Structure 1
Amino acid sequence: MQAVDLNLLTALDVLLSEQSVTKAAHRLGLSPSAMSRTLSRLRAATGDQLLVQAGRTLVPTPHAERLGLHVHELARNARAVLQPVSTAPDIARLERTFTIRANDGFVDLLGAPLATAIGRAAPHVRIRYIAKHDKDAQALREGMIDLEIGVIGTAAPELKTRLLFHDRFVGICRAGHPLLQKPGVTPKHYAGYRHVVVSRKRQFAGPVDDALGQLGLRRTIVMVVPTYANAMQIVRHSDLLGLIPHSSLGSAAGSHAANEGLQYFELPVRTPRIKISAIWHPRLHADPAHRWLRDTILEVCRSTGVAG
């Protein structure tokens, strides 16, 4: 087998991330000339230019873009294999990027306090949020994401979970909506208006409809949208009623919603509580840095009192 210098893998990871010889050299503690020589070695090893000049910047070649999908995970795994297991990592010196799959509501609500907590304890740690288009466990299995935040929606038996907080559904309407006038938010009054619902699966019914059905009532759903932000924007500028988790309103729910032209109200029927959990693959369960991240997220959830 041809000798492989794993230092080149780390160098390639940083070069593709920074797309700058100077910035990559700074991150790796090398001189720009040494970094340039490393880039030449990478070009010779891969048979591709990898990064090419475009004006005053460097841009990746198509081959480099394809490599970028895998090289970060390979470099991280190589470093994990070739270093002693530590039960107490130096978090202040930890350099790592964690990829978290979460919906907009979680990022809007806890992104800032989580960034503050991580910045204080681990200034070299970075968080990459990706949109939650589905709950497929394969991304966790393949290491494409490190952690998922949300309602458990997969039957994958090996996944680890940890409850972060409970949430609940609330109704939303535009400020001054006639629903809030007499007789108020009764089941019949609520069901009498037209509704917009949020569903990634494009479904027109949910737990509220089950509860209304037990009372012999049925609401009229005229629109399905993929995100809570979509529903809030539509409700703000129409007479439609919406349904969102309480946490999506923000940490100061009442004043925040009112300032944005929305009012929220308690539903006139009972719906199951929403369990928001952290979900991860067992290969990362004992990883000290990952465990620190999970503990930090849980502490931020507790300290901000996100559950409604």
Structure 2
Amino acid sequence: MDHPDLNLLITLDAVLTEGSVAGAARRLGLSASAMSRALARLRETTGDPLLVRAGRGLVPTPHALALREPVHRLVEEAHAALRPAAALDLSTLTRTFTLRTREGFVENVGAALVARVSKEAPGVRLRFLPKTDRETTLLREGTVDLETGIVGKEAGPEVRTRALFRDRFVGVVRPGHPLARGRMTLARYLAAAHVLVAREGGRQAPVDVALEALGAARNTAATTGSFAAALALARASDLVATVPERQTGILRDGMYSFDLPVDVPQLTVSMLWHPRMDADPAHRWLRGVVLETCA
């Protein structure tokens, strides 16, 4: 089936509004001959003469009268859809943004982020989801507006990213732990019992990669799936947890943290979004708020 020429809607709206070929031509900036050709196409497409001679003028047919309002409405809606986006008014913005975030983000940044958003845009709501993998399918599907985490190969080349902050790993023990006293050495660190945070996909933790390069390994007494659980175990035992410093700030409250006795590369935590949201004024505002809150 052939698709109709939607440009004819604009021509038809001009003809039905003006009620004359000459008036429609002036409205559209067309010559009389070009307007006549356009009217001929309209008649062929609609199967109706639309305007018929009545004395010295033209009058619309019943079909033309029936089309006048719906065609005009369609043309107005098309013009509205193609206009540049209106300036963002945060005071009237009503929207829910879904953020899929890594462990520790909500605990350390969430409250400040919600407070800033509520102050600037009272009608905006934030919905936080846990990010348990590095897949960005939900961003592409539009289910999630923004993600935070370490950018990996799973992100895909089309995903936009912006660094939020740098983080480093630290060792953490309960108050009064033997490692909370004296100088930290590699020998003391390795002699202690550790709780390992298992990585998705079987990835080695960065500290274990660094130790392996030295021919060393931690004495792992327990394994868990999150930094929060690792810290809970360390808080109530003699286990040592090795966790990102900034992402676990509140979770480590009251515990003793120390610099690792081995060089471990820092992490860059970023926000990720789909490029279709690049020009969206509300999404651009949200990205700015997240960036400034994390900074």
Normalised by the length of structure 2, the TM-score is 0.68
Q: Cα 1:87–1:227, aligned 2, differ >3 Å: closer, same or farther? A: farther
Aligned to 1:225: 224
CA deviation map 1:172-200 (0-9, x unaligned): 11111112334x31111101112112234
State how far apart, in whole Å, the 1-side matches of 2:82 and 2:233 are.
52
Q: Which residue identity does 2:100 align to in structure 1? A: R
Number of residue pairs matched by the alignment: 215
Q: Which residue identity does 1:284 align to in structure 2? A: M
State how far apart, in whole Å, the 2-side matches of 1:139 and 1:204 are.
22
Aligned to 1:176: 176
Aligned to 1:150: 149
CA deviation map 1:264-300 (0-9, x unaligned): 1111111111101010011111111100000111111
- The answer as to whether partners of 2:197 and 2:205 remain within 8 angstroms in 1 is no
Aligned to 2:269: 276
- The answer as to whether partners of 1:100 and 1:146 remain within 8 angstroms in 2 is yes
- The answer as to whether partners of 2:180 and 2:256 remain within 8 angstroms in 1 is no
Structure number, greater radius of gyration: 2
State how far apart, in whole Å, the 1-side matches of 2:128 and 2:249 are.
18
Q: CA deviation at 1:91?
A: 1.4
- The answer as to whether partners of 1:133 and 1:200 remain within 8 angstroms in 2 is no
State how far apart, in whole Å, the 1-side matches of 2:86 and 2:196 are.
46
State how far apart, in whole Å, the 2-side matches of 1:82 and 1:104 are.
40
Q: Which residue identity does 2:263 align to in structure 1? A: R
CA deviation map 1:111-169 (0-9, x unaligned): 11111111111000000000112121111110110000111132411000001111111
Q: CA deviation at 1:229?
A: 0.9
Q: Which residue identity does 1:269 align to in structure 2? A: V
Aligned to 1:263: 256
Partner SS for 2:122 = coil
Aligned to 2:135: 136
Partner SS for 1:107 = helix
- The answer as to whether partners of 2:198 and 2:205 remain within 8 angstroms in 1 is no
In the alignment, structure 1 segments of 5+ residues that lack a partner are: 1-80, 303-308
Identity rate of aligned residues, in percent?
A: 42
State how far apart, in whole Å, the 2-side matches of 1:216 and 1:199 are.
21
- The answer as to whether partners of 1:188 and 1:217 remain within 8 angstroms in 2 is no
Q: Which residue identity does 1:289 align to in structure 2? A: A
Q: Cα 1:160–1:202, aligned 2, differ >3 Å: closer, same or farther? A: closer
In the alignment, structure 2 segments of 5+ residues that lack a partner are: 1-79
Q: Which residue identity does 1:135 align to in structure 2? A: R
Aligned to 1:115: 114
* Superposition CA RMSD, Å: 2.0
Partner SS for 1:129 = strand
Aligned to 1:301: 294
Partner SS for 1:91 = coil
Q: CA deviation at 1:84?
A: 4.7
Q: Cα 1:250–1:148, aligned 2, differ >3 Å: closer, same or farther? A: same
CA deviation map 1:28-50 (0-9, x unaligned): xxxxxxxxxxxxxxxxxxxxxxx
The within-5 A match list for 1:194-273 is 194-201=193-200, 203=202, 205-250=204-249, 257-258=253-254, 262-273=255-266
Normalised by the length of structure 1, the TM-score is 0.65
Q: CA deviation at 1:82?
A: 5.3
